[in-house]
Structure 1
Amino acid sequence: MGEWVTQWRVEFLGREWNFVDIGSVVVVLALHLLTLLAPFHFTWPAFWVAVALYFVVGVSVNLSYHRQLSHRSFKLPKWLEYFFAYCGVLSFQRSPLEWVSIHRSHHQFTDTLKDPHSPVRGFWYSHIGWIFDFRSRFGSYEARLKNVGDLKRDPFYRFLHYTYPLHAISFGVLLYAVGGLPYLVWGLGVRSVIFLHATFGINSICHTWGKQVWNTGDLSRNNWLIGLMAHGEGWHNNHHAFEHSARHGLEWWEIDVTWYVIRFLEIIGLATEVQRPTETQKKRKALLSNNMNNQTRELREKLETEINGGKI
């Protein structure tokens, strides 16, 4: 069944689409259409439900999918690890297996054509276009999930992988049963769409606009707006400089809500082996970045001098 949905093809808009691609379009379109109903179904209880879920589900994606499962930045008791992973499934960002596989490929092939959401293919593609193209994520059905063998051995993550759409949809039914259309529109539609674009912005905006504190050899940037919207994930250049760090906001003023949750769990003894860069590592990285920046500046000045002097 899994192979059929990716091998089946239909061609339109100048490319081949499989069942997964079309399903992605349907889900994203449905969520955006649901969000358009927000002004007509506003209630304060529905608004606060959306705010609470934006925090819980959003932090769960960052904490579980990204910082723990993708980078092994810390450890949690299994019951708590599974809780955050399950909450992450409610984000409509696919299963932990697929999310982690895509992200590990991103770090392996950052900003190249092999990067699943490479900015070199254009802003629109890196923001949202890539999720409608199964081939950009895996290349082929046979190549999918090759880099998440550690997670595929866990029955819980295999279960979530094959059932994840059911959980998000069932949660929508629950919201409707509890609070009617206002809860569904705000708690599912508005909440999901805003956080989806915050997450997509990490791939697009944070590889286009912002400050590059560290010379990481890629286009990653720190962007304060995405940092706020995505609970700390916008300090993306910091992340690429120290990818195994559980903390992304390395300065006190770099708000990193996900890190605050991890730090709290560490204080009460639930999070262990929490990785963070030492001052020595940061100084060494800063020195390397400064040296590379100086070399780049000297080369640029030399070329400009030769051009202005008529040597080129």
Structure 2
Amino acid sequence: MRLAPLLPAHHRLTTAWFHGCWLYGNLLIGLIWGLPHLTWQRSLASLGLMVLTVGLGHAVGLHRGIIHRAFQTSRFWRGTLAYLSVLAGLGGPVSWLKSHYYRDYWQNQPTSPAYFRYDHSIWQDFHWNHHLALHSADDARYDIPPADLHDPWLVWLEKTWVLHVFALAGLVWWGFGFEVMAAVVCLRIALAMLGHWFVTYVSHTSGYAHYHVAGASESGYNNLLLGVLSFGEGFHNTHHAHPRSARMGTAWYELDLGWLLVRGMEMLGLIWAVEAAGRTATQKPQAQVQPTRRWPWAA
């Protein structure tokens, strides 16, 4: 297809029919029936679900815990965090696992296929991420841990994640009404999907940096506001330099809400052996302290 030269030979792109329908369906329901009837109580309920599912489940549990193994935990709590990530409505955990390893591999190469770089427009990136699906015919080259790739619980969640989101939506609809469901489930899912994509794009194109990762085609950037709103994921330059760190906001002025969730779980004894920048050796040898700045209006 036309975009094939932008990819490695073993990758291909197809039309992401389900992803597109899922995004725009949730967005339409949320905007038409949820947003006009949003109250402060419903806003707080939606925010609470966002913290549990996107923050604790996706950003901390799936990304930092399962993918990067930034902490250890029991199998039960690991499975619980994976389930919360599913309720975020962003997709199945195995798909996220694969996608993350693909991007990490190519972004840490001196040269990267255009699809994995961020020297294209935001509209191009929006199209790629929300209208096309990436597939690989050679997962073996990415060294994805078999224990994660074939974990029975993660594989089952991958196959059934939509049903769990539907079940949550049905329970909220049954207990509180359709308008509440539209606000705290559909609108929340659409905002999470768009927000995740937006934070990822901006955190690779503009902001400030504490590090330069030598030999990598992408080093990422930190963004103060997006870092707060994304549970620390917007401090992406730090993440590129300290991929095993459960803490992404390391400067005093970088508020990492994901790290606060990690610390809370640690104090409760739910997780242990936490890897964190400033606490353990998480910095990559290639990451050199070399502050740079790059803002959208910079020459």
Give the TM-score taking structure 1 as reference length. 0.78
For residues 227 and 219 of structure 2, what CA distance do their matches in structure 1 show?
17
Task: Establish whether residue 40 from structure 1 lines up as the match of residue 39 from structure 2.
Answer: no
Q: How many Å apart are 1:212 and its aligned residue? A: 1.3
Task: Establish whether residue 52 from structure 1 lines up as the match of residue 51 from structure 2.
Answer: no
Deviation string 1:31-84 (CA, Å, 9 cap, x unpaired) is 111121234322333222111111111111011110011111101112111111
Q: Secondary structure at the match of 1:169?
A: helix
Deviation string 1:118-157 (CA, Å, 9 cap, x unpaired) is 32343234345324322xx3234x6499725221332111
Query: Counterpart of 2:206?
Result: 209
Q: Secondary structure at the match of 2:123?
A: helix
Paired residues of 1:49 and 1:186 also in contact (CA < 8 A): no
Query: Counterpart of 1:22?
Result: 17
Q: How many Å apart are 1:236 and its aligned residue? A: 0.5
Q: 1:116 to 1:163 in 2, by over 3 A?
A: farther
Query: Which runs of no fewer than 5 residues in structure 1 stay unpaired?
Result: 1-14, 294-312
Deviation string 1:155-211 (CA, Å, 9 cap, x unpaired) is 111110111111112211111111112221111122122222221123211011110
Q: 1:267 to 1:39 in 2, by over 3 A?
A: closer
Task: Establish whether residue 162 from structure 1 lines up as the match of residue 176 from structure 2.
Answer: no
Amino acid at match of 2:44: W
For residues 230 and 287 of structure 2, what CA distance do their matches in structure 1 show?
29
For residues 116 and 160 of structure 2, what CA distance do their matches in structure 1 show?
25
Amino acid at match of 1:147: I
- Count residues with an aligned counterpart: 273
Amino acid at match of 1:234: G
Give the TM-score taking structure 2 as reference length. 0.81
Paired residues of 2:46 and 2:188 also in contact (CA < 8 A): yes
For residues 32 and 236 of structure 1, what CA distance do their matches in structure 2 show?
27
Deviation string 1:74-127 (CA, Å, 9 cap, x unpaired) is 011121111111011012221111111111221111186547653234323434
Query: Counterpart of 2:229?
Result: 229
Amino acid at match of 1:75: Q
Amino acid at match of 1:124: W
Query: Counterpart of 1:5?
Result: none
> Which residues of 2 match residues 1-312 of structure 1 at below 5 A?
17-18=14-15, 21-37=16-32, 38-59=34-55, 60-110=57-107, 113-114=112-113, 117-127=116-126, 129-134=128-133, 137-140=134-137, 143=139, 147-216=144-213, 217=216, 218-278=218-278, 288-290=288-290
Q: 1:272 to 1:91 in 2, by over 3 A?
A: same
For residues 280 and 191 of structure 1, what CA distance do their matches in structure 2 show?
35
Paired residues of 2:224 and 2:235 also in contact (CA < 8 A): yes
For residues 283 and 117 of structure 2, what CA distance do their matches in structure 1 show?
29
Segment drifting more, 264-273 vs 70-79: 264-273
Query: Counterpart of 2:3?
Result: none
Identity %: 22
Paired residues of 1:214 and 1:285 also in contact (CA < 8 A): no
For residues 115 and 24 of structure 2, what CA distance do their matches in structure 1 show?
21
For residues 139 and 282 of structure 2, what CA distance do their matches in structure 1 show?
36
For residues 201 and 93 of structure 1, what CA distance do their matches in structure 2 show?
14
Amino acid at match of 1:78: R
Greater RCO, 1 or 2 (C-alpha within 8 Å, sep 6+): 2
Query: Counterpart of 1:307?
Result: none
Amino acid at match of 1:213: H
Query: Which runs of no fewer than 5 residues in structure 2 stay unpaired?
Result: 1-11, 293-299
For residues 147 and 58 of structure 1, what CA distance do their matches in structure 2 show?
23
